[in-house]
Amino acid sequence: MAGRINFTASINGQQVGPLDLPEDLMMVELLQEYLNLTGTRLSCGQGVCSACAIIVDDPEGGSRTVPACITGVAWLNGKTVRTIEGIAGRDEQGDPVPSPVQQAFLDHFSFQCSYCTPGFVNAATVLVERLERAPIPVEDVEDAILKALDPHICRCTGYVRYYQAVRDVILSTPGLTIGTVAAAERPA
């Protein structure tokens, strides 16, 4: 069997570990089989479909998504990670309070079966956070969304309502774009 590592990480704001884990364990296995966080969905197991995308927060380099199916716990050891379970807030009753991206996906009826939704939420969240730090011209928004989300496969929706939702979030959130909304609006 593989060697072992002593694993610690911050996952959704909670300190996890130290855990004695196989050093070749993939992050999706840790989340699903050890932590019972099954919202990160495994589909291809080879880093192609992006259903399992999780967020790795780097205070210096910013946030980015990685495919949890091919990203080992060894690489993530000591890092700060967000999964779909950590994106929404909670109200006083403990009910979920969706993030702006999640709310937009709800409002736009963006998903159907939803197996790929956690990956889309995480990728769109990272995009929005990146634009907070580095706004882009309004006319570049659609290309930026396509670049950020194109690796994500959805078999149900044809992508349109995901993309429209993210565009709405970006165009309606102050500080993410430079220029005027009207200049970039197109029929869809």
Partner 1 sequence: MPHLDLSRRKFLAAAAALGIAAAVRPLRQAQAAMMETTVGKDRGWFAGGKLRYRRDGMAKVTGSKVFSIDVRARDIEGWPDSQSHALTFHLPRTDRIFRGLDLSLLRPDLEPDVLIDAERLQQDGVAMPQSDFYGDFFLAPGAVPPMLGQPVAIGIWHDYERYRAARKKLQFVDGIFLWGEAAGSSARAPYGAARYVRIGGDDPRGADRFSPMKDLVVWPQTDDRGVHWPGPDDADFGEAMRHSADLRASMDDPPEGWRVFARNYRSQSVDPAAMETENGLGWYQPEQGRLNVVGATQSPYTVAHHLLEMMSASRLAFSQLEFVTGYTVGYGQKEHQSFPYYVAIAALYAEGRPVRVVLDRWKHFQFALKRHPFDIRTAFAVDAEGRFQIMTCDMTGDGGGVKNFSPSVGTVAVTAAQSIYYLPSSDLSVQMLPSVNVTAGSMRGYGTLQSMATTEMLVDEIASEMQIDAIELRLRNVIRSGMKNTQGAVPSGHLRAAEMLELAAGDPMWTGRHERKAAFEAENPGMVHGTGFAAVQKDFGTGAEAAVVQLEVTREGRLKMRHVASEIGCGSTTSQLLVVQSHLGRPADEVEFSVQDWPQMPLHTEDEPYTTTQEDEDRFAQDPRWVPRFTSPRSASNSAYYFTHASQQAARLLLRLTLWPAARSIWSGGESGGQMLPEPVEFEDLAWRDGMLTARSMQPLSLERLAAHAHARGMITGVCVHTFNRWAWAEADFEIGGDRFRAAIDALSVKWGEAADDATKARMTDGGYAFQPRVQVHYPPVQRNNAGTVYYAPCATLIELAVETGSGKVHVLSHKTWLECGTQIVPELVSGQLQGGVAMGIGHALYEELPLGPEGPGNGTWNFSRYHLPRASEVAVWSQTGHVLPPLNDADPPKGMAEVVMIPVAGACANAIAHATGHRFREFPISAARIQEVL
Q: Can you give the binding site for partner 1, defined by CB under 8 A?
A: 1-2, 22, 24-25, 29, 33, 36, 38-41, 43-46, 48-49, 51, 83-85, 87-88, 95-96, 98, 102, 105-118, 121, 142, 146, 149-163, 186-188
Cβ-based nearer residue to partner 1, 50 or 133: 50
State the minimum distance, in angstroms, from the CB of residue 45 to partner 1: 5
Cβ-based nearer residue to partner 1, 38 or 77: 38
- Cβ atoms 171, 181 nearer than 8 A: yes
Cβ-based nearer residue to partner 1, 18 or 133: 18
> CA-to-CA distance for 153 and 144, rounded, in angstroms?
17
- Cβ atoms 35, 25 nearer than 8 A: no
State the minimum distance, in angstroms, from the CB of residue 60 to partner 1: 28
- The closest of 109, 102, 123 to 161, measured between CA atoms, is 109
Cβ-based nearer residue to partner 1, 88 or 136: 88
- The closest of 91, 85, 122, 109 to 164, measured between CA atoms, is 109
State the minimum distance, in angstroms, from the CB of residue 160 to partner 1: 4
Bond before 18 cis per omega within 30 degrees: yes
User: What tokens does 1 get?
Assistant: 């069997």
State the minimum distance, in angstroms, from the CB of residue 66 to partner 1: 17
